[in-house]
Amino acid sequence: MHLPQNFRSRSIIGGLAVLMLLPLVVVITSPFHASAPEWDHVMRDILPSHLLETLRLVGLTVLLALLFAIPSAWMVSTLDFPGRRLFRWALVLPLALPTYICAITFGSLLGPTGAFSRAISANTGIHIDIMTWPGLSLVLALALFPYIYLPARVAFSAGMSPHLDAARMLGGGAWKRFFRVAMPLARPAIAGGALLVAMETLNDYGAVKYYGVRTLTAGIFRSWGGLYDVGSALRLSGVLLLLVISLITLERSVRRRAGQESSHRPVTGAPLYGWKSAAAVIWCIVLFAVAFLLPVASIALDAFRTMKDLRFLQFLPALGNTLLIGLLAALATILIAVAFAFAERSSTGTNRLTNWASIGYVVPGAVIAIGVMAFAGWLTHVTGIVIIGSIVLMVYAFSVRFLALASQPLRAGLKQQPKAMDEAAHLLGSSPWRTFRQVNLPLLRPAIIAAALLVLMEVVKELPLTLILRPFNFDTLSTKVFELARIEQWPDAGVPALLIVLCGLFPVLVLDRLLERRTR
């Protein structure tokens, strides 16, 4: 199709995509330019064990997260039982908890010397230890399952009613309706969520380190910090990227095999009675209590106990910085994601680039930091402008890291807008850019807000990029938590940890509302 502004928009979009990809190119091309003196050792003694432990950790975590998410989403969407409306949003809340805080909290409760473990072993003689790899899977699944729960809930609620009604008229019982109709229809949504869970697990460093689980990300840091071999660390990042690319391919194939949503009439819940109703209530209560109430109560208790010693006000600047950097990063990421969405919608021919640009989401933050700093150092060398240690560079790094998170809701939102609408605008004399701005974008507003909130939430929780790229004297809540956790004064981290959770709750709740409105 002929587009008058094609060249200009193509170069802007292309430039942005290259900017997003540059730090990653440094990583991917490292085998060709960085020497890796310890690579033989890494291949023999690190890669096999770490790859194996990565695969089993990711596998079990995704499995458990599916187990927590799907029945819950099914129950709150298609059944009716006491408290259903409450659980519907409450089960989203664990998303506000960073995985490293969850891991330490569960360790302090159910670890070998945890408060609960001690009580249990004193009474029964049984030693409980959650600090094993299956235990870590459980903790990660509890923290991450809402990534599957949310899209599954939307899928079960919207567009499914005619199919479910039809299945019912054809004599399908509840189980049959679930396995033969609902699951296949919801598969793309669930696959997308499972991919996010897998990526978050791959990217985690704080929790795996504390639990002594050897994942590829841990191997990257071992090569970097222990073997003094950045080259090998970058090569391992390349292996991690390959793993992720295969996961993405898998997700795409699952997505392609499924059909489209059709109607938007909400599903009316089928009432449950007797023991079935009680079982549903108990399932939801237990899941919510373990995934959210328990860790938050423990953090709140720590915060309360240490509050008298710590000057509460000392965390105010960190709170301000957290919100500032979160908002700026959300804004920048959204602008780029919107530009890419426009490029894809109006087929500027840059799709391959923009698709790849999202891969930053799976690269460990510290590795992105190397790439970003290498780029910034080169820029300084050429132009004399020092941007390392500036907010600009932090915002840039966050955009690289979280672009995928912002792009996903925008893509999904655009997919729901019929292409004929764009064509109608075209025939009415509207340029592609005007069409996008005045037709697609206004309709995309909920998706844009959702995307911004996702980024904001992740930046609030993010640690390694913030830690290394920050300006002088720039503390955020997560660096505060890290400083205190690092010197093994975990209870003192209660106040900032609680503040992180509170900062995260707001976007999570708004996100939930937005998705609900789309469903209704």
Partner 1 sequence: MKPQFSTFAAMIKKPLLFLPLFALACSAPNKDNMEDVVNVYTHRHYETDKALFALFEKESGIKVNVVMADDDELLSRLDAEGANSPADVIITADAGRLGLAEQRGFLKPIHDSTLEANVPAHLRDPEGNWFGFTMRARVVAYDKNKVAPEELMTYADLCSPRFKGQILVRPSEHVYNQSLVAAMIAHFGIDSATSWCKGIVANMARDPKGSDTDQLLAIGEGLGSVAIVNSYYIGKLMKSDDPARQKAKNAIAVAFPLMQNDREGEVLTPGIGTHVNISGGGVAAHAKHEANAIALLRFLSSDASQAAFADGNMEYPVKPGIPAAAVLQGFGRLIPDTLDLSELGRHNAEAVKALDAAGWR
Partner 2 sequence: MIKPLLSVHDLHFAHVRGQEVLAGTSVEVQEAEVLVVVGPSGCGKSTLLRCIAGLEKPSRGSVTMAGNALTDARSFIPPEARGIGFVFQGLALFPHLTVKGNIAFGLNGLPASERTQRVRDELRSVGLVDLADRYPHELSGGQQQRVAIARSLVRRPKLMLMDEPFSDLDPKTRSEVRTEVMRILRANKTAAIIVTHDREDAFHVADRIAEMDHGRIVRVAPASEFRSEWTQHPFQEV
Instruction: Yes or no: say if 348 and 25 are a contact pair by the CB < 8 Å rule.
Output: no
Nearest-angstrom CA–CA distance, 480 and 475: 7
**Residues linked to residue 271 through DSSP beta bridges, in sequence order:** 80
Nearest-angstrom CA–CA distance, 244 and 310: 42
Can residue 132 be called a binding residue for partner 2 (CB under 8 A)? no
CB of 338 to partner 2, least distance (A): 17
Nearest-angstrom CA–CA distance, 79 and 404: 33
Choose the binding region for partner 2 from 145-153, 213-221, 438-446, 480-488 (rule: CB under 8 A): 438-446
Among 324, 347, 421, 424, binds partner 1 (CB under 8 A): 324
Q: Is 117 helix (H, G, I), strand (E, B) or coil?
A: helix
Nearest-angstrom CA–CA distance, 520 and 512: 12
Among 434, 471, 489, 520, binds partner 2 (CB under 8 A): 434
Name which of residues 45 to 64 contact partner 1 (CB under 8 A). 45-46
Binding mask 12-51 toward partner 1 (x if CB under 8 A, else -) reads --------------------------x--x---xx-----
| Residue 221: partners with Cβ closer than 8 Å, 6 or more residues away | 205, 209, 233, 366
Choose the binding region for partner 1 from 3-11, 170-178, 237-245, 363-371 (rule: CB under 8 A): 363-371
CB of 340 to partner 2, least distance (A): 22
Name which of partner 2, partner 1, none residue 90 binds, using a CB cut-off of 5 to 8 Å depending on partner kind. Answer: none
Q: How many amino acids of this chain bind partner 2 (CB under 8 A)?
A: 21
Can residue 442 be called a binding residue for partner 2 (CB under 8 A)? yes
Among 265, 426, 513, 518, binds partner 2 (CB under 8 A): 426
Nearest-angstrom CA–CA distance, 330 and 511: 14
Name which of residues 127 to 166 contact partner 1 (CB under 8 A). 127, 129, 131-132
Name which of partner 2, partner 1, none residue 420 binds, using a CB cut-off of 5 to 8 Å depending on partner kind. Answer: partner 2
Nearest-angstrom CA–CA distance, 30 and 512: 41
Name which of partner 2, partner 1, none residue 388 binds, using a CB cut-off of 5 to 8 Å depending on partner kind. Answer: partner 1
- State phi, psi for 371 to the nearest 5 degrees: -60, -45
Can residue 439 be called a binding residue for partner 2 (CB under 8 A)? yes
CB of 468 to partner 1, least distance (A): 4
Name which of partner 1, partner 2, none residue 113 binds, using a CB cut-off of 5 to 8 Å depending on partner kind. Answer: partner 1
Nearest-angstrom CA–CA distance, 393 and 398: 9
Nearest-angstrom CA–CA distance, 377 and 214: 32
- Beta carbon nearer to partner 1, 182 or 233: 233
Binding mask 331-360 toward partner 1 (x if CB under 8 A, else -) reads xx--x--x----------------------
Among 18, 119, 245, 424, binds partner 2 (CB under 8 A): 424
Quickly list DSSP for 226-291: IS--HHHHHHHHHHHHHHHHHHHHHHHHHHHTS------PPPPPEE--HHHHHHHHHHHHHHHIII
Name which of residues 61 to 100 contact partner 1 (CB under 8 A). none
Nearest-angstrom CA–CA distance, 104 and 209: 11
Long-range contacts of 204-208 (CB under 8 A, 24+ apart): 204/99, 204/100, 204/140, 205/364, 205/365, 205/366, 205/464, 206/99, 206/100, 206/103, 206/463, 207/99, 207/100, 207/102, 207/103, 207/104, 207/136, 207/139, 207/140, 208/57, 208/136
Binding mask 402-421 toward partner 2 (x if CB under 8 A, else -) reads ----------------x-xx
Can residue 260 be called a binding residue for partner 2 (CB under 8 A)? no
Name which of residues 380 to 419 contact partner 1 (CB under 8 A). 380-381, 384, 386, 388-392, 395
Can residue 384 be called a binding residue for partner 2 (CB under 8 A)? no
CB of 31 to partner 1, least distance (A): 18
What is the enclosing helix (H) or strand (E) of 92? none
Q: Is 314 helix (H, G, I), strand (E, B) or coil?
A: helix
Binding mask 74-93 toward partner 2 (x if CB under 8 A, else -) reads --------------------
- Beta carbon nearer to partner 1, 71 or 134: 134
What is the enclosing helix (H) or strand (E) of 80? strand 79-80
- Beta carbon nearer to partner 2, 270 or 443: 443
Tokens 């690190």 correspond to what residue? 46
* Chain positions contacting partner 2, by CB under 8 A: 1-4, 418, 420-421, 423-431, 434, 438-439, 442-443
